[in-house]
Amino acid sequence: MNKTTDRSFDGISAKFQRNIYQSTKGEIRQQVLLRDLSRLAVLQQPCQVLDVGAGQGQISLALAKMGHTVHLTDISAEMLAIAAETATAQGLAVAGPAAQLRFSQQSLAELSRDVQRQYPLVLCHAMLEWLAEPAIALSQLSQLLAPGGVLSLMYYNKDAMRLSNILYGNFDYVSADFKVKKKVSLSPQNPLEPKQVEQWYQQAGFTLISKTGVRCFHDYLQNRSQQQSHFDQLLELELKYNQQEPYASIGRYTHLLLTRPE
């Protein structure tokens, strides 16, 4: 990773929590990810999990409640502090020999340079698009994954970003390839082309298990108030159709489950 340009959320963690995690889009994201992960054979018994770029740890804490042990890493000390506070409030063990959660402020590059163990399940959610050099991340993640293990990778879908902004009438923004003079603080720096991500994971030796769209319908509603007022119906439709094409390819995020052969 390039330490000067990879994005840390220190200083805006509370804003991120309010505008992303505590919103309908955050709730859909968590529900979709947990649905996909719950189907994995590796999670049918207690499992050691690595969460790279864990942020405030919603998925990690949910896995810990299910009996799994999770190592959360992030470059943001503030994000990890919020995750630890939330874990303690939820009664999860964060210290001692029975700890279900471990926290360390580390970048992906640092983890891959000093591989102390490999994990049967590695999570990397909504991080790739914040990296200065996302292309190398897949090979770094591969080093942290045990042979035959599963990588849960979710990234910001540039195709979906293009579609939604055309529908919103943001034609100049699309024509400029989403480049603006002043970056919106919570918007990813580098939305990713799905074909490019596919090339990267294949080059790193991964094969695809499944592909899911995350927020296939939520972001396209003409009446935005329905995101809240009709949330249960919206979530039901997202979960029903988000692994079917064409919907899987127009989710604002794309969730891939990848494996590395033994």
- The answer to whether the annotation marks 35 as part of a ligand binding site is no
Q: Which residues contact 191 (CB under 8 A, 6 or more apart)?
A: 129, 156, 157, 158, 161, 178
Question: 24-38 and 231-241 helices cross at what angle (nearest 10)?
Answer: 40
Residue corresponding to tokens 């034609």: 171
Confidence (pLDDT) at 132: 86
- The answer to whether the annotation marks 96 as part of a ligand binding site is no
Question: 58-65 and 77-89 helices cross at what angle (nearest 10)?
Answer: 30
DSSP codes, 171-236: HHHHHTTT--SS--TTS-SS-B-HHHHHHHHHHTT-EEEEEEEESSSGGG-SSTTHHHHTHHHHHH
| pLDDT reading at 78 higher than 50 | yes
Half-sphere exposure of 233 (CA within 13 A, CB side): 6
Which is it for strands 145-156 and 207-214: parallel, antiparallel or unpaired?
A: unpaired
Residue corresponding to tokens 């997202």: 238
- Binned at pLDDT 50, 70 and 90, residue 1 comes out as very low
Characterise 206 by phi-psi region: left (phi > 0), alpha (psi -120 to 50), beta (else).
beta
Q: Are 251 and 160 in contact (CB under 8 A)?
A: yes
- Binned at pLDDT 50, 70 and 90, residue 95 comes out as confident
| pLDDT reading at 53 higher than 70 | yes
Domains of the chain plus CATH, in order, are 13-158+188-259 (3.40.50.150)
Residue corresponding to tokens 């580390």: 106
Q: What is the mean pLDDT of the chain?
A: 90
Confidence (pLDDT) at 49: 98
Q: SS3 for 77-95, per residue?
A: HHHHHHHHHHHHHCCCCCC
Confidence (pLDDT) at 166: 95
Residue corresponding to tokens 């994005």: 7
Confidence (pLDDT) at 91: 94
Confidence (pLDDT) at 185: 57
Both tokens of residue 245?
A: 């094409």
DSSP 3-state of 48: strand
Q: pLDDT tens, 194-217?
A: 999 999 999 999 999 999 999 999
Confidence (pLDDT) at 114: 87
- Binned at pLDDT 50, 70 and 90, residue 172 comes out as very high
Q: Which residue has the higher pLDDT, 81 or 21?
A: 81
- Binned at pLDDT 50, 70 and 90, residue 2 comes out as very low
| pLDDT reading at 5 higher than 90 | no
Q: Which residue has the higher pLDDT, 98 or 219?
A: 219
Both tokens of residue 69?
A: 């042990």
Residue corresponding to tokens 């740890």: 57
Q: pLDDT tens, 138-160?
A: 999 999 999 999 999 999 999 99
- The answer to whether the annotation marks 53 as part of a ligand binding site is yes
- Binned at pLDDT 50, 70 and 90, residue 58 comes out as very high
| pLDDT reading at 75 higher than 70 | yes
| pLDDT reading at 3 higher than 90 | no
Confidence (pLDDT) at 51: 98
Please give the C-alpha separations between residue 200 and each of 20, 137, 159, in angstroms, as whole numbers.
27, 9, 17
- The answer to whether the annotation marks 54 as part of a ligand binding site is yes
